[in-house]
Structure 1
Amino acid sequence: MTVLISPLPETATPPAPDGGLGALSTDQGNLPLDSVDVQADITGLAARIRLVQGFRNPFDVPLEATYVFPLPDRAAVTALRMEAADRTVDGVLKERGQARQDYDAAIAAGRRAAIAEEDRPDVFGMRVGNILPGERVTITLTLTQPLPYETGDAGGAATFRFPLVVAPRYIPGAPLPGEQAGPGTAADTDAVPDASRISPPVLLPGFPNPVRLSVTVDVDPAGLPLTEIRSALHVVTEERAGDRVTVRLQPGERLNRDFLLRLVHAPHETSALSLVPDETGEEGTFSLTVLPAGEQRPRPRDVVLVLDRSGSMQGWKMVAARRAAARIADTLTGDDRFAVLSFDHVVERPRDLPAGLHPGTDRNRFRAVEHLAAVDARGGTEMLAPLAEAASLLTDAGRDRVLVLITDGQVGNEDQLLAELAPRLGGVRVHTVGIDRAVNAAFLRRLAGGGSCELVESEDRLDEAMEGVHRRIGAPLATGLSLHADGLRVDPETVAPRRLGSLFPGVPLVITGRYRGAPAGTLTVRGTTPSGTPWEQRAAAATAGNPALTALWARAHLRDLEDRYTVSGGDDLEKRIIDTSLRFSTLCRFTAFVAVDERTVTDGGAPHQVVQPVELPDGWAAPAAPMAAPMIAQSAPMPAPGAPPMAAYGGAVPRPAPAGRPRMGGAARGSMRAPSGGAPDFGGGPVPAPEPASPPKPAADEPRRRLAAELERLPRVPVADRAAHLVDVVLPLLESVAPALPGSSPLAALMADLQALRHTPQTDVTTLWDRTVQVLTDVTAPPAKRAFWKRPR
């Protein structure tokens, strides 16, 4: 077999003239993380991965190292192992609160310990404590990942994506009082109560490569006709042995962008039903793959195109986003209606195309493309208002309703957005296009739900990606899908995904779940074509010896349960999530892996704490001049008058360390020395700088006082006057106080709905009035603190 390795062009990076601010070193180095080793075995359309992180203590006192890192959002983390000196300790999966207590107790008692926690489906935190001076500790995580697969006219392609850096994210909301949840550079807020756990410091440009990165991928086609391997963003080498191919990353690369391989296959049939019995034989896991074929029959559509123009989209991403949006606008027909919204901290529309849907005429499409061509990056990522406005426009159930979001997804308030938007997007097909080399894929996939998520890592990839988007925003082959079992006892509460969505040509539908009894029978997927005729596809069961399927199902099922918890909460649902995670040994946001060495190695004093800085993502614009702050301000247009100040990428403003706790990155300047007596260490990260000046704004209590006064007046407004009062009184009030309450997503969404009320008088005013009362009540109430991994409810 001959396999062609075809790397995509590399983006040239100019050499740094010097080490840059913060580029300090000792004889043994000054950052705890010294290596990351990714070893992946791909068999068919699944990958088993070993991620090995090496931590070394360059100081003369015991060390606790913290590292915020990404993992594939669909991967199931099933094991952790800690190795130090001659000791090997296997981690135990426990309820998250209990795991943290065990870890803290071990550190206080002078024992080595490690804990791995999930903060987002693709963002994790690792803490390794009581590493002795000069000692090296390795942490090995084991995970299983499915490979997304899609077919075209020339065959199919599977994608192996392994993220390597957590990009800075926009953090909206009002700061919460009290101790922060983590040591990050962003303050916890009412919209993102764990912001300080997902905002590690960022290395300044020019910092010498602090981490040795190695990636090895062994590919076993497992009968699939593999014809080509495409390497995206990295240069790789390959070795062949029969049908197996080994791909290795070129040495010297940095952890600043996703690692991507695309495995191209010749056309083949992938529809199948696989059953994996448990050891008891009384139950097991099923995986059904349906690859539909057929022709789409177009029907009139309502399409809302939402384009992110925030500061993090600067550079090639903005160019690609404009091209993608224009390509979608050009596919519209005269039978379609559409709207185009571009947003940062404000929402803008094309000139001469005010709020509302407009026919897809040549003239209107030209106006939309003209608007898109002038869009540039600026400001913060206030995403809820444009998506809420889009949802308010897509209400005609007699037409195909399509929402397309083009963004890098770099926001921290994912749970808040999903909770607010889920009730409004019923019946709407959401398609997301993620543009970045370190994209927030987890959020974009969660938002898409039954729609699709297309990821674009370079302009070269854009045309190929847009072909998939065009297929999916067209008419589906079948909608209203449902699963039916014959002879196989399926537990309906375990089926993932919970919403089956729609079927599109060449886009496989993968359904997993649990069954009871004998491993035999058939499963049928049924739906309705656009013409109203029934559609179905049936698959007979075949027993498979692939235990990875159970872990992949557990991860998908836990993700569905966590999304339901985000929307509705509930102690029963929380207990179900924890029980499922522990039973199937799969990490989730309510559990954590903890490893504790029983041997005492220190006297129990508090270890020196260092948080590993991360790379600036490749393709993100460097600052015009060096800045001594973990989150680097970018060269972007100034916000409009009255808009919230936007410092750093996407608006995440650096904050000083809370009193009594060292700033992220380690001890204060000059307080530590290297074991060999080298240069003083500053904790490995950039030196803190004073907070940037912000424009004057009203006293913090004044906006809430005005909203509270209006809340008292609302009960006295006659029912007949409520619609006018919402538009003429409440909306102007919200618009006037919004700049002083940046990041209040419920307030922004309410404003969008009140603006829509101007154009749609038939809106249910009673429901909108009740919601206005509730939002004003929530905004004027003092914020409450909860465990950071639990959504306030």
Structure 2
Amino acid sequence: MVNCCGLLTVKNEPVPLKSVEVELEVRDHVATVVSTLTYENKEDKPLEAVFVFPLPGDAAVCHFSAKIGQTEIVADVKEKQKAREEYDDALSSGQQAFLLEESEQSPDIFSLSVGSLPPGESASIRLEYVTELTVQADDGLRFCLPAVLNPRYQPQGSGGGNVQVASLPSSLVPYSLAFCAQVSSPRPVSKIESNCSLDPPQYLNTEQTQATIKLAAGHKFDRDVELLIYYKDAHQPTAVVETGQASAKPGTLMGDPVVMLSLYPEFPQAVMSSVASCGEFVFLLDRSGSMDARLNNSKNAQTRIGSARDTLLLLLKSLPMGCYFNIYSFGSRFEHIFPKSVEYSQTTMETALKKVGEMGANLGGTEILEPLKHIYSQPCIHNQPRQLFVFTDGEVGNTKQVIDVVKKNSHTHRCFSFGIGEGASSALINGLAKEGGGHAQFITGTDRLQPKVMQSLRYALQPAVIDISVTWDLPKDVSVTVLSPPITALFQGQRSLLYAQLTGQISEAAEGCVTVKYSLAGQPSQNQFTFSLKPAEDTGLTVHRLAAQTLIRSLEMEDRESREKQDESVKKKVVELSVQSGVSSAFTAFIAVNKGDGEAIQGPLVRRNIPTPGFMSLGMLGSSSTLCGAPRMMACAMPQFQQRGGIVHLAKKKGGCYNLGTHGLFSKVKAKVVRSGGGGKPHGMSRSVAMSCDNPQMMDDEMQMSCDGFDNTGEQCVTSQLPMDPLLQLVSLQKASGCWDLAPALATALGKTSKEVEEIKPASVNQEVWATILSLIWLHGFKIDVQEEWELLAMKAVSWLRAQNASCVQECMDAGNALLGCKVQKDALGL
């Protein structure tokens, strides 16, 4: 638990945030979120409460108000420094004031200051934001209400200050969560899923286009609340035209109509059926201490680093022959397996797999910027398009710097990003993919990393789309100003959103047309979408605010690029647009002051920092966050090292170190055993342990275990080899070319003996052909439910078989089915 001043009152009572209520309204693929935070001051002194919390990185915060007793105060958006001065002036004069501001380092972190709450008084804060829902690989729309704000690692020398926030075990967080959602769409809702327990959805009409959802009773705010919403015909393009604000001046963004287009390009099937056989694939793996945390709260859950290692196995086996690759890993420093990207072959693949197997979450902090710069400094390989895959739990404090460097190099590569575990920064993960022309994925709860990564690899193997242009065809009296940045990447089935401001006379019957042109596999292609210009009803100003947010983020990035020239003009534009639209930005803040006739609040203010829920994970041991001048402290017991089959037993082995397995192929954690007693044989091991963490100054790179008794020879080492997942066991035996050897290890992976496998082999068949067909039958017969994980490496195996011109394929199929007890047809394998 956390032991830090400022978290509890002098009477050891909880901090004053009492409850959080969240109302979610989803319209097609846009969400409006209203959060109500209720504070109560139970102390005998005036109180200032500070609550630091996460929001989606692309959220447009558009309303902030406070209610004290029967008095409601609505906040205004003002330039940030002016808002801070107004807040301080209000507190110094004894008035109540509220300040909401976005972190200057990361757009998904906000701080809320609640000033001068009198003794015994309550205050309700209402916060509203709108956000686009991201499309997942299975076409689900993802909404995430972040519950966990892990400490953000601030790189050394970056000049930025850490967000000062306390984290508590979720069981000790002294406030509750109530959550309900309404979903509506022109298309029927096919299903709604969540990582949390839900009451059954209540459909409001027979067409199932409207539904309500609530969290089941007893929910603890111990994880992100994630909703996945699935519509029928999800890939239909849509358009929403929204009228301007009546009180706004015509010709301004808020005064004119705005259109939001949701486009889903469809590529020719002939092109999509082919898979690229070239490319430079660079994998960048986070090895900071926090990657040792488990993927979810289950005791048997795999660690983030373990899941990432298993995923790299699948990726390396699925790469096409003829490509190039390299693997980087980073923490407080970074490493790479090869000095530069190498050609993919059996030798280089085996070298990489050996190195990956040795990777642990033992490199300290989260310095992602330097390895990115090093990767971009390497010359690109001719005719080998660079594809960058980034795996991180996304806890960095210099998010904007990282995204900026990706954007500057976006012309040389595509970036695919993966946020692993609760608390991953949506601003970082989405920003990397958006500016890098790739695709973002989040892995939370019981999600498996592997299928999402393989989906992104399929995207990376799609032919690159170049020369993208968008043409608007509108009535002659209507002009258009595009507010979205240019489209730089298109993938089959992936959504592209466009916002545009419309000016002129628009009749109700008018139509517009948008044409997206591009070059695909050397052939010119285009998709066209015609839509009505008639304004939609009851949309409020949702589309305008999302459009304003899109433009604000583009201008903020432009401002960071122009600061070297001491140019303040872009910042001025951001402030003007933020104030006009009522949408927050990095340069503005919401300020509300109660200027009523009540008496000024007397007495010195007591400052209280509101803790956020956090995981008691190994990787969170280190942080330089402080509260009230006291360092943040955590106590941590040694974890249980368990496999599904029970406790792992430690066996003595000469040389090396303890290998403590968790799950998967590369599940090894190194530990140094330190002799702590007299002579004699080891008879037990204590649970005191110092684990690697995000603060390299606090911890060593290796775990140190104290042992109750060892002999006089000094350090002893043991190893434990755990059973491997059968799928990963089979995959690990595949060669880079795509085939398998007929080896005892393969028979074991198939659940057979070597004798059984060899006796039934048709006499005239090559051993590698027989082994490869057997492996494909096993995959289709026993692992069809996770086909997306092995589909690409199976395609490579089939290509190898075709190149052999093997005879007796049907005879092998019959024999293989008989041996394995399957009924897989030859056509199912693609033979």
Q: Quick check: TM above 0.5?
A: yes
What is the number of residues matched between the two proteins? 604
Distance 1:173 1:56, change over 3 A: same
1:143-542, aligned counterparts within 5 Å?
143-150=129-136, 152=138, 156-174=139-157, 191-195=158-162, 198-203=163-168, 205=169, 208-220=172-184, 222-233=185-196, 238-242=201-205, 243=208, 244-279=210-245, 283-294=256-267, 295=269, 296=272, 297-299=274-276, 300-315=278-293, 316-350=303-337, 354-378=338-362, 379-393=364-378, 395-396=380-381, 398-448=383-433, 449=435, 450-458=437-445, 460-476=447-463, 478-487=465-474, 494-496=482-484, 498-519=485-506, 520-542=511-533
| Alignment-mate amino acid for residue 333 of structure 2 | V
| Alignment-mate amino acid for residue 571 of structure 1 | E
Query: Could you state the TM-score of these two structures normalised by the residue count of structure 2?
Result: 0.68
| Alignment-mate amino acid for residue 193 of structure 1 | G
1:23-62, aligned counterparts within 5 Å?
29-62=13-46
CA distance in 1, matches of 2:130, 2:523: 40
Q: Does 1:650 align with 2:694?
A: yes
1:715-734, aligned counterparts within 5 Å?
none
Distance 1:167 1:618, change over 3 A: same
CA deviation string 1:383-441 (max 9, x = no partner) = 12221222233624633221111111111012233344433343311111110111111
Alpha-carbon deviation of 1:477?
A: 6.2
**Is contact 1:94–1:582 with CA below 8 Å preserved after alignment?**
yes
Q: Structure 2 residue aligned with 1:109, among 93, 102, 118?
A: 93
**Is contact 2:151–2:395 with CA below 8 Å preserved after alignment?**
yes
CA deviation string 1:496-550 (max 9, x = no partner) = 2x24122111211111132322445322221110224343434334333233111
Q: Does 1:613 align with 2:611?
A: yes
**Is contact 1:227–1:264 with CA below 8 Å preserved after alignment?**
yes
1:555-704, aligned counterparts within 5 Å?
555-569=549-563, 570-599=567-596, 600-603=598-601, 605-617=603-615, 629-632=631-634, 649-651=693-695
What secondary structure is seen at the aligned counterpart in 1 of 2:424?
Answer: coil
Distance 1:55 1:362, change over 3 A: same
Alpha-carbon deviation of 1:284?
A: 2.1
**Is contact 1:320–1:459 with CA below 8 Å preserved after alignment?**
no
CA deviation string 1:126-161 (max 9, x = no partner) = 001110111111100111121112465xxx311111
Distance 1:480 1:521, change over 3 A: same
Q: Structure 2 residue aligned with 1:130, among 98, 116, 129?
A: 116
Distance 1:529 1:618, change over 3 A: farther
**Is contact 1:418–1:566 with CA below 8 Å preserved after alignment?**
no
Alpha-carbon deviation of 1:617?
A: 3.2
Distance 1:478 1:542, change over 3 A: farther
Alpha-carbon deviation of 1:381?
A: 1.2
Distance 1:576 1:620, change over 3 A: farther
CA distance in 2, matches of 1:418, 1:638: 36
Identical pairs, percent: 24
CA distance in 2, matches of 1:460, 1:502: 26
**Is contact 2:20–2:178 with CA below 8 Å preserved after alignment?**
yes
**Is contact 2:95–2:600 with CA below 8 Å preserved after alignment?**
yes
CA distance in 2, matches of 1:200, 1:59: 22
What secondary structure is seen at the aligned counterpart in 2 of 1:134?
Answer: coil
CA distance in 2, matches of 1:579, 1:21: 41
CA distance in 2, matches of 1:47, 1:421: 28
**Is contact 1:272–1:539 with CA below 8 Å preserved after alignment?**
no
Q: Which runs of 5+ in 1 are unaligned?
A: 1-15, 175-190, 640-645, 654-691, 696-793
**Is contact 2:19–2:37 with CA below 8 Å preserved after alignment?**
yes
CA distance in 1, matches of 2:198, 2:304: 21
**Is contact 2:290–2:620 with CA below 8 Å preserved after alignment?**
no
Alpha-carbon deviation of 1:495?
A: 2.5
Query: Could you state the TM-score of these two structures normalised by the residue count of structure 1?
Result: 0.71
Q: Does 1:553 align with 2:555?
A: no
Alpha-carbon deviation of 1:20?
A: 8.3
Alpha-carbon deviation of 1:605?
A: 4.6
CA distance in 2, matches of 1:415, 1:426: 19
CA deviation string 1:769-792 (max 9, x = no partner) = xxxxxxxxxxxxxxxxxxxxxxxx
| Alignment-mate amino acid for residue 90 of structure 1 | V
CA distance in 1, matches of 2:405, 2:493: 32
Distance 1:490 1:592, change over 3 A: farther
CA distance in 1, matches of 2:633, 2:577: 37
CA distance in 1, matches of 2:444, 2:451: 11
Alpha-carbon deviation of 1:603?
A: 4.3
**Is contact 2:258–2:499 with CA below 8 Å preserved after alignment?**
yes
**Is contact 1:62–1:602 with CA below 8 Å preserved after alignment?**
no
CA distance in 2, matches of 1:159, 1:588: 24
**Is contact 1:150–1:506 with CA below 8 Å preserved after alignment?**
no
**Is contact 1:92–1:593 with CA below 8 Å preserved after alignment?**
yes
Distance 1:330 1:621, change over 3 A: same
Alpha-carbon deviation of 1:236?
A: 5.1
Distance 1:24 1:414, change over 3 A: closer
**Is contact 1:476–1:502 with CA below 8 Å preserved after alignment?**
no
**Is contact 2:264–2:495 with CA below 8 Å preserved after alignment?**
yes
**Is contact 1:165–1:615 with CA below 8 Å preserved after alignment?**
yes
The structure with the larger Rg is 2
What secondary structure is seen at the aligned counterpart in 1 of 2:595?
Answer: strand
CA distance in 1, matches of 2:221, 2:631: 20
| Alignment-mate amino acid for residue 485 of structure 1 | W
What secondary structure is seen at the aligned counterpart in 2 of 1:318?
Answer: helix
CA deviation string 1:717-771 (max 9, x = no partner) = xxxxxxxxxxxxxxxxxxxxxxxxxxxxxxxxxxxxxxxxxxxxxxxxxxxxxxx
| Alignment-mate amino acid for residue 243 of structure 2 | P
| Alignment-mate amino acid for residue 151 of structure 2 | P
Distance 1:491 1:96, change over 3 A: farther
RMSD across aligned positions (CA): 3.1
Q: Which residue of 1 aligns with 2:78?
A: 94
